[in-house]
């Protein structure tokens, strides 16, 4: 019997991780079969431990079975006094409290259990990820952020990778609740990159999450990329239950494009695949299908689904928003009553939905309902209420960092692209070094060959061939140098992207909202014209004209920002033009700051301008000088951030100042920071190509070298003054 158990155990656990993922239930059943055959307590303990470890890594939805096996393991483990049994005992107690909905107790117990597991570096990703549900049920979103932020720091240092991936997933859940979709997607993708080598099913789930929230964020193009990849991989693995969320996502995509028949078909396909994912997923799909039926014009088919979902949500005591998704029963009632023109009931349902979203601290739903309330009251001509809710919507949207990217691309993807670009630059630098060494060696050979030519005339042909080889190598080196310069310029353009997006978001929000209001006002104007009420028409016309002026104003602002970005990205023609130096300095200072904030949310610094109003315009190549100023500002922000993170100075306030001054016929631009400062031996080399003070991978060593060349080409000069520990000042003098 012992021999049989040993053979079965070896066969079972020689399956690779992806094989396990493909038939997880088969593995659990095999372990339970072996458990029934176990000859003694030691074998039972070993098999129970393996069963529980599988659940800790891949999930523990089978409540009753888990409870039985966990209690059995705790009892046997206590009897045999095995190592770390206390962690399983506290997990058992936390799980009991969780099932009784005593979330306060379960939260405390889960934390203790995780701490004990961490001491032994156990792989417990599903236990860590489960904590997000407990925090959500307690409406403790801020505590959720603190918990997962700390766990990320711990697991980045100590591992294991499975736990780090789960901590990333927990942070993604927090940012999703707060409608910060860029960060939510970033952490889902970080988790996915780690889960890819651990569990194919969980990895595909993270891809689906990224697709879902790209759609919610408004970038359906990116969402479809991840959704199609998830569908392709899931069909290859025949993992049909995981397709539930993909079809659900595709249904939402069609719904947002008003293709309600296609949306309903996807919702039905998703619902048919539900097996072990729990009742909550099915409830969400029914609610979405009901809303689609209402929008399609079939409210009578929808009402029974809404009532059925309402009963299920009430019986299960489900919050409007939790880790499973959003249970928008009241919003579904609102859509139904609005379609039936039951205005009072519709208003009551929508206000109730908004109230519940506030109680659950679900920013995503709050934004949706604020926008819907503004539209609803505008339709009822209650403009004061409409304006109030619209103002709240704009204010809350503006306050969220998720609005920082007009391009709607997650920071993690930008970071990955930047790293790939830096890798390319490093490869080019390595090639240059190899080529330089090759040239040196080849030149030595050339001289030897020339010397030999005096002795043996036959070697002339070899010398000629070697000369041609060296010429080609030099041409290749020049091309490599051009590629490095282009890479530095593209890096400069990338740093502007996030800042430009932040600036352009506000005018776009105003344009969208005033356009919707104008559409409603024009509809009412048409009704007043048909009634012959021209006094009312005049009043409505004034409102339309006023709104149109605001649209025009914000449109010009967005246009100016886009033109500024296009001008920066355009290839330099070498043509000089008169540019207002104060406007250029002020614009790049603001864009550089917001660009860095988009990459690092913890970054913060005070920035000021000291601009001479008499500085006027300078005759320069705008794209080239703009890159110089942007590079100096970014270096200044980097220096103050390094000083702040070093914790070497108490009560330190980072500060960057840019100033201009007209001196005779020259214009002087200064970029000053109170950062770490530069040593004298470094200052002597700072303008040399490929010399950088930044850590490996963070600097190309070309920024200041190119800046020096650009300023010299304009007939100006650039200088640097620095005191170690106090700060640095760069001075650019340009002829006006």
- At residue 208, the pLDDT reads 78
pLDDT at 401: 47
Q: Which residue has the higher pLDDT, 458 or 195?
A: 195
- CA angle 311/314/315 to nearest 5° reads 85
Residues 450 and 550 in one domain: yes
pLDDT band at 330 (very low <50, low <70, confident <90, very high): very high
Q: What is the mean pLDDT of the chain?
A: 78
Range of 149-158, 242-251, 439-448 with top mean pLDDT: 149-158
Within a domain: 597: yes
pLDDT tens track for 666-685: 999 999 999 989 988 888 88
pTM across the whole model: 0.47
Average pLDDT over residues 9-28: 43
- What pLDDT was estimated at residue 732? 95
Which tens digit of pLDDT belongs to each residue from 425-465? 555 556 666 777 777 777 787 778 777 777 776 556 665 77
Residue 532 lies in a domain: yes
Tell me the per-residue pLDDT of 566-588, one tens digit each, with 9 for 90 and over: 555 555 566 888 999 999 898 88
Domain count along the chain: 2
Averaged pLDDT for residues 586-593: 85
Tokens of 259: 């293709």
User: Is the pLDDT reported for residue 375 higher than 70?
Assistant: yes
Q: Which domain range does residue 506 map to?
A: 411-569
Q: Quick one: 510 and 587 in the same domain?
A: no
Residues 730 and 589 in one domain: yes
Helical axes 581-599 vs 460-531, angle rounded to 10°: 90
Span 267-281, pLDDT tens digits: 888 878 776 545 677
Q: What is the pLDDT of residues 463-504, one digit of tens each?
A: 577 767 767 766 766 666 555 555 555 555 555 555 555 567
Burial bucket for residue 316 (CB in 10 Å: 0-12, 13-18, 19+): exposed
Domain assignment present for residue 359? The answer is no
The DSSP code sequence of 678-708 is: --HHHHTTTTSTT--SSPTTT--S-HHHHHH
Q: Do 550 and 440 belong together in one domain? A: yes
What's the mean pLDDT in 620-632?
A: 88
How many C-beta atoms surround the C-beta of residue 677 within 10 A?
18
Indicate if the pLDDT at residue 95 is higher than 60: yes
- Domain's final residue, options 569, 592, 619: 569
Query: Would the pLDDT of 310 be above 50?
Result: yes
Residues 541, 542, 548, 553, Cα dihedral to 10°: 170
Per-residue pLDDT of 500-514, as tens digits, reads: 555 676 678 778 877
The distance from CA 42 to its chain's CA centroid, rounded to whole angstroms, is 47
Q: Is 378 within the bounds of a domain?
A: no
Q: Is residue 678 part of a domain?
A: yes
Q: What angle do CA 253, 258, 262 make, to 5 degrees?
A: 65
Of 569, 588, 607, the residue that ends a domain is 569
Confidence of residue 83 (pLDDT cuts 50, 70, 90): confident
Q: Residue 177 — pLDDT band, cuts 50, 70, 90?
A: confident
In a domain, residue 543? The reply is yes
Q: What is the mean pLDDT of residues 682-707?
A: 73
Whether residues 518 and 556 share a domain: the answer is yes
**Residue 418 and residue 561 in one domain:** yes
The reply to whether 270 falls in a domain is: no
Whether the predicted pLDDT of 319 surpasses 90: no
Q: What is the rounded average pLDDT of the residues 79-91?
A: 85
DSSP assignments along 223-287, one per residue: HHHHHHHHHHHHHHHT-GGGHHHHHHHHHHHHHHTT-HHHHHHHHHHHHHT-SSS-HHHHHHHHH
Whether 656 shows a pLDDT value over 90: the answer reads: yes
**Quick one: pLDDT at residue 17?**
40
Of residues 513 and 2, which shows the higher confidence score?
A: 513
């Amino acid at each position: 019997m012992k021999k049989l158990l040993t053979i079965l155990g070896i066969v079972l656990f020689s399956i690779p991780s992806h094989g396990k993922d493909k038939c997880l239930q088969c593995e659990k059943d095999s372990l339970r079969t072996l458990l029934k055959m176990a000859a003694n307590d030691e074998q039972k303990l070993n098999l129970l431990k393996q069963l529980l470890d599988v659940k800790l890594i891949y999930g523990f939805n089978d409540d009753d079975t888990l409870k039985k096996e966990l209690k059995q393991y705790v009892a046997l483990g206590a009897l045999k006094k095995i190592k770390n049994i206390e962690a399983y005992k506290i997990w058992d107690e936390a799980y009991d409290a969780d099932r009784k909905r005593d979330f306060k107790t379960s939260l405390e117990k889960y934390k203790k259990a995780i701490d004990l597991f961490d001491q032994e570096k156990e792989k417990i990703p599903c236990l860590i990820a489960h904590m997000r549900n407990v925090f959500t049920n307690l409406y403790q979103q801020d505590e959720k952020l603190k918990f997962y932020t700390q766990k990320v720091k711990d697991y980045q240092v100590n591992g294991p990778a499975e736990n780090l991936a789960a901590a990333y997933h927990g942070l993604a859940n927090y940012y999703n609740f707060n409608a910060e979709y860029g960060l939510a997607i970033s952490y889902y993708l970080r988790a996915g990159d780690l889960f890819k080598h651990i569990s194919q099913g969980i990895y595909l789930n993270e891809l689906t999450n990224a697709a879902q929230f790209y759609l919610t964020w408004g970038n359906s193009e990116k969402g479809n990329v991840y959704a199609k990849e998830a569908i392709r991989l899931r069909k290859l693995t025949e993992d049909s239950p995981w397709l539930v969320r993909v079809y659900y996502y595709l249904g939402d995509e069609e719904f947002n494009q008003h293709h309600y028949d296609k949306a309903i078909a996807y919702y039905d396909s998703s619902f048919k695949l539900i097996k072990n994912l729990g009742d909550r997923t099915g409830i969400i799909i029914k609610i979405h299908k009901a809303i689609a039926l209402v929008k399609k014009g079939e409210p009578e088919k929808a009402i029974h689904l809404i009532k059925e979902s309402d009963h299920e949500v009430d019986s299960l005591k489900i919050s409007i928003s939790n880790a499973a998704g959003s249970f928008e029963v009241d919003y579904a009632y609102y859509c139904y009553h609005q379609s039936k023109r039951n205005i009072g009931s519709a208003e009551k349902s929508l206000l109730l939905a908004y109230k519940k979203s506030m109680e659950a601290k679900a920013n995503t739903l709050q934004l949706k309902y604020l926008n819907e309330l503004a539209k609803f009251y505008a339709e009822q001509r209650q403009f004061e209420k409409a304006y109030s809710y619209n103002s709240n919507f704009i204010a809350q949207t503006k306050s969220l960092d998720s609005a920082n990217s007009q391009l709607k691309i997650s920071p993690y993807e930008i970071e990955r692209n930047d790293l790939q670009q830096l890798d390319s630059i490093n490869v080019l630098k390595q090639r240059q070094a190899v080529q330089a060494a090759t040239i040196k060696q080849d030149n030595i050979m050339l001289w030897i060959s020339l010397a030999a030519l005096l002795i043996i005339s036959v070697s002339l042909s070899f010398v000629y061939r070697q000369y041609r080889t060296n010429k080609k190598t030099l041409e290749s080196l020049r091309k490599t140098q051009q590629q490095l310069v282009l890479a530095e310029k593209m890096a400069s353009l990338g740093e502007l992207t996030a800042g430009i997006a932040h600036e352009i978001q506000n005018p776009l929000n105003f344009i969208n909202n005033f356009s919707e209001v104008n559409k409603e006002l024009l509809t009412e104007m048409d009704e007043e014209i048909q009634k012959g009420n021209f006094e009312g028409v005049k009043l409505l016309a004034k409102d339309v004209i006023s709104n149109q002026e605001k649209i025009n104003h914000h449109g010009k602002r967005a246009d100016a920002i886009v033109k500024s970005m296009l001008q920066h990205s355009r290839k330099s023609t070498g043509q000089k033009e008169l540019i207002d130096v104060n406007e250029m300095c002020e614009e790049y200072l603001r864009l550089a700051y917001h660009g860095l904030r988009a990459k690092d949310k913890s970054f913060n610094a005070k920035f000021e301008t000291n601009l001479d109003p008499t500085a006027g315009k300078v005759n320069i190549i705008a794209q080239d000088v703009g890159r110089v100023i942007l590079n100096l500002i970014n270096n200044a922000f980097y220096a103050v951030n390094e000083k702040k993170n070093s914790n070497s100075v108490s009560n330190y306030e980072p500060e960057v100042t840019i100033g201009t001054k007209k001196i005779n016929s020259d214009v002087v631009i200064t970029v000053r920071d109170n950062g770490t400062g530069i040593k004298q031996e470094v200052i002597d080399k700072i303008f040399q190509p490929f010399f950088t003070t930044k850590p490996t991978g963070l600097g190309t060593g070309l920024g200041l070298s190119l800046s020096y060349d650009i300023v010299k080409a304009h007939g100006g000069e650039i200088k640097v003054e620095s005191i170690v520990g106090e700060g640095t000042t760069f001075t650019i003098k340009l002829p006006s």
